Amino acid sequence: MKDTLTPAAAETLETILLRCVECSTSYPGIEAGWAPRYRCQCGGVLDVEIRLPAGASHLRQLFDQRAATPPTWPLNTDTMLPDHSGVWRYRELILPVPAQFIISRPEGNTNLYPAGIENCGAGRIGHRQIGHYAGLERLFLKHEGENPTGSFKDRGMTVGVTMASLLGAQAVACASTGNTSASLASYAAQAGMRAIVFLPAGNVSAGKLAQSLAYGATTIQVDGDFDAAMRLVERVCDELGIYLLNSLNPYRVEGQKSIGFEILQQLNWQAPDWLVLPAGNLGNTSAIGKAFRQAYQLSLISHMPRFASIQAAGANPFYRSFRQGFAKREQVQAHTVATAIKIGDPVSYTRARRVIEESNGLVEEVTDEEILAAKTIIDRSGLGCEPASASTLAGIRKLVEGGVIKRGELVVGILTGNLLKDSQTGIPQREESVAVAANVEAVRKVLQQ
């Protein structure tokens, strides 16, 4: 990394504080003898504090305007991508970077699908099946699999790689269950940086691995699980001066906040009763929780939704802690078919705990069977998602059955990744398709069966 910061980086970082989530010690966004800081001296994870703008009514206007502004000719290639990004549209609440420094695909702008029994529209019979399965009248599913590389990780990565670029980093690295590495590889390639990704050997789906390799990342398969890869990459980055972009990086969380802001904008700034999402490393629980907290502080909304974070039963350290009233931080050896949430020691535990507590939320667990059953419902509805994402619907169903979520409450669920991310797990395989001779008679026979 460069010894001196670009003026733009210095200016941006001067407006930022990094605060330890464990002991509240704060650090300047930019330090003398600059070196990137990812942890507090006490070992705690750091959270970005930006000065929130005073008054919020103009923000709503600004965000709505950016979403609706038609392009000008000639195109302004510095601002066209950021203004149309579902992350940078909210940059006053994310990271105040001048538009020309932003590295964006653009990302976000994902659809919010009505899928409840009452709210999904007369013709959308497939999606209504989801509502029946959930047992909810008013349900929306936010499909983050519609991001450029097929998962919500792009929302954090655009901010992380923009920061890396401001800092003059030549190389960036992460440990990943697959989606973070796919995203990092794509954004690093766009920024002309070297990407190095650490994957748990044998635990990453073929599609995600293919993305990292295709985008040109140096792809290292670690002999160990995700948690081992995570520990390794932190040491490698420290010793080799590579900019670290896994969920320890505080700026990625800021980017993922945009899921919350975008949901609110799509709901015309009405907060739902519940926000339900898969929980692995807990970055999303932390980020979306922070977004709603800030929206509430700015009076953009009148109440916080209750958060329900859903874990796979075989990868449930957060659930175990929750069941003890968060008396103890738990770790497990993770086992689940949902590889994106196969995490035994989540990095963002403390931030996520705060979200559950302050939103009067909860943590639930679902079995792999429940995840796969819910995935089949989502896939057959025409939406489709990767296995980890389906834990959202499995969790909603369980919570509705248990009487925790009421049938009439307004629920937003997050689908985190695209169906094509994992073409092996929980869907019919090639052998289940039908081979026929190329004539109508043969097809007629098949259809009559």
Ligand X SMILES: *Cc1c(COP(=O)(O)O)cnc(C)c1O
Judged by the rule CB under 6 A, the positions of this chain that interact with ligand X are: 151, 153, 179, 278-284, 340-341, 386, 388-389, 416-417
Whole-number minimum distance, CB 350 to Zn ion, in Å? 10
Q: How far is the CB of 165 from Zn ion (least distance, A)?
A: 28
State the binding partner of 282 from ligand X, Zn ion, none, CB within 5 to 8 A by kind. Answer: ligand X
How far apart CA 365 and CA 398 sit, in angstroms, is: 9
Q: Which is nearer to Zn ion, 23 or 443 (CB)?
A: 23
Comparing CB distances to Zn ion, the nearer of 23 and 434 is: 23
Alpha carbon distance 174, 184 (integer Å) = 8
Binding partner of 188, given ligand X, Zn ion, none, CB within 5-8 angstroms per partner class: none
* Shortest Cβ 342–ligand X spacing (Å): 10
Which of residues 17 and 232 has its CB atom nearest to ligand X in the complex?
Answer: 232
Q: Which does 40 bind (CB under 5 to 8 A by kind): Zn ion, ligand X, none?
A: Zn ion
How far is 289 from 309, CA to CA, in rounded Å?
11
Q: Work out how close the CB of 279 gets to ligand X at its nearest, in angstroms, rounded to a whole number.
A: 5
By beta-carbon proximity to ligand X, the closer residue of 82 and 317 is 317
How buried is residue 376: exposed, middle or buried, by Cβ count under 10 Å (0-12/13-18/19+)? middle
**Which of residues 136 and 310 has its CB atom nearest to ligand X in the complex?**
310
Within 8 A by CB and 6+ apart from 301, the residues are: 264, 269, 270, 271, 292, 295
Distance of CA 245 to the CA centre of its chain: 14
Give the count of alpha carbons within 13 A of 34, CB side only. Answer: 17
Give residue number: closest CB to ligand X: 417
What does the DSSP assignment read for 148-211? TTSBTHHHHHHHHHHHHHHTT-SEEEEE-SSHHHHHHHHHHHHHT-EEEEEEETT-S-HHHHHH
Binding site for Zn ion (CB under 5 A): 20, 22-23, 25, 40, 42, 44
Which of ligand X, Zn ion, none binds 156 (CB below 5-8 Å, type-dependent)? none
Q: Provide the minimum distance between the beta carbon of 347 and Zn ion in the complex, in angstroms, as a whole number.
A: 14
Least distance (Å) between residue 352 CB and Zn ion: 17
Pick from Zn ion, ligand X, none: which does 284 bind, CB < 5 to 8 A by kind? ligand X
Residue 140 tokens read as 């929306």
Q: How far is the CB of 43 from Zn ion (least distance, A)?
A: 7
Phi, psi of 140 (to 5 degrees): -120, 140
Choice between 81 and 388, CB closer to ligand X? 388
Closer residue to ligand X (CB): 127 or 153:
153
CA angle 345, 377, 399 (to 5 degrees): 55
Indicate the helix (H) or strand (E) that contains 9. helix 7-14
Q: What sign does the CA torsion over 84, 86, 88, 93 have?
A: positive
The binder of 141, among ligand X, Zn ion, none, by C-beta within 5 to 8 A per type, is: none
Rounded-to-integer distance, Cα 110 and Cα 152, Å: 9
What gap in Å lies between CA 371 and CA 389, rounded to an integer? 8
Tell me whether residue 39 or residue 406 sits nearer to Zn ion (CB atom).
Answer: 39
In angstroms, rounded to a whole number, what is the distance separating the alpha carbons of residues 54 and 109? 26
Q: Which is nearer to ligand X, 265 or 389 (CB)?
A: 389
- What's the rounded Cα separation, in Å, for the pair 139 and 406? 12
Q: Are 185 and 197 in contact (CB under 8 A)?
A: yes
Residue 278 interacts, among Zn ion, ligand X, none and using kind-specific CB cut-offs from 5 to 8 Å, with ligand X
Q: Minimum Å distance from CB 144 to ligand X?
A: 8
User: Binds 389, which of ligand X, Zn ion, none (CB < 5 to 8 A, cut-off by type)?
Assistant: ligand X
- In the bound complex, what is the minimum distance in angstroms from residue 417's beta carbon to ligand X? 3
157: left (phi over 0), alpha (psi -120 to 50) or beta: alpha
Type of residue at 197: V
344 binds, among ligand X, Zn ion, none (CB under 5 to 8 A by kind): none
Q: From the CB of 351, what's the least distance to Zn ion, in Å?
A: 13
Nearer to ligand X, 279 or 399 (CB): 279
Distances (CA, A) of 157 to 140, 180, 187: 25, 8, 7
Which does residue 363 bind out of Zn ion, ligand X, none, counting CB within 5 to 8 angstroms by kind? none
